[in-house]
């Protein structure tokens, strides 16, 4: 499978899951602080690390790629929150508004990953864990723009990793 079609497959899986969860849960994540979402990401990372250290996964129905997809979607949710938080219509935002922003974020991520060089692939779940722990440790000091850059950096690394390993 070539990179573009693999990239499209990953993005399709992310979008499909996001839309399913949006239908089931609505915009409930709007109420969470960004760092509560980062805690969710941390739990997903720890799940991946546990599977890697054991060499197998206990819950066969949820594949490791599904956990990466969850991380990607949580990071995109943070990006959406960063974008809509500054608007005066934050509490009036609709599912359709969120889907539009989600698609814009996916397009931006796809453009970045399509332009990435293979030599930039230095992904490890430990590296993602370090980024997340840094965010948690410095949450009072990190500005929105810095958080946005961190999210994009992690997203691109994860998608590039998945692209290479699907």
CA diameter of the chain: 48
pLDDT, tens digit, for every residue of 138-147? 888 888 888 8
Confidence of residue 76 (pLDDT cuts 50, 70, 90): very high
Residues 38, 132: Cα–Cα separation, whole Å: 7
The whole-model pTM stands at 0.85
Instruction: Please check the confidence at residue 14 and state whether its pLDDT lies above 90.
Output: yes
Q: Which helix (H) or strand (E) holds 85?
A: helix 64-85
- The conformation of residue 32, written as its DSSP 8-state character, comes to S
Q: Which of 3-17, 91-105, 109-123 has the lowest mean pLDDT?
A: 109-123
Confidence of residue 52 (pLDDT cuts 50, 70, 90): confident
Residues 149, 144: Cα–Cα separation, whole Å: 9
Which of the two residues, 164 and 20, has the higher pLDDT score? 20
Residues 136, 46: Cα–Cα separation, whole Å: 15
Residue 119 has what pLDDT? 44
How remote is the C-alpha of 158 from its chain's centroid?
A: 8
Instruction: Please give the average per-residue pLDDT across 12-36, as a whole number.
Output: 92
Structure tokens at 105: 């974020």
pLDDT, tens digit, for every residue of 112-160? 776 665 545 566 788 888 888 888 888 888 888 888 888 888 888 888 7
Confidence of residue 1 (pLDDT cuts 50, 70, 90): very low
Residues 44, 62: Cα–Cα separation, whole Å: 12
- The conformation of residue 57, written as its DSSP 8-state character, comes to -
Residue 102 has what pLDDT? 95
With a CB cutoff of 8 Å and minimum separation 6, the contacts of 100 are none
């Amino acid at each position: 499978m070539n990179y573009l079609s693999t990239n499209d497959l990953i993005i399709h899986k992310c979008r499909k899951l996001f839309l399913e969860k949006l239908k089931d849960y609505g915009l409930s994540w709007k109420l969470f602080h960004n760092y509560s979402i980062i805690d969710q990401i941390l739990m997903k990372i720890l799940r991946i690390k546990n599977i890697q250290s054991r060499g197998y996964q206990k819950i066969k129905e949820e594949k490791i790629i599904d956990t990466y997809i969850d991380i990607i979607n949580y990071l995109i949710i943070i990006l959406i929150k960063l974008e809509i938080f500054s608007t005066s219509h934050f509490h009036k935002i609709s599912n359709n508004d969120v889907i539009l922003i989600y698609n814009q974020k996916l397009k931006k991520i796809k453009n970045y990953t399509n332009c990435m060089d293979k030599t930039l692939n230095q992904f490890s779940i430990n590296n993602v864990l370090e980024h997340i722990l840094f965010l948690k440790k410095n949450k009072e000091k990190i500005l929105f723009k810095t958080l946005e850059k961190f999210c994009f950096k992690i997203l691109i690394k994860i998608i590039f990793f998945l692209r290479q390993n699907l």
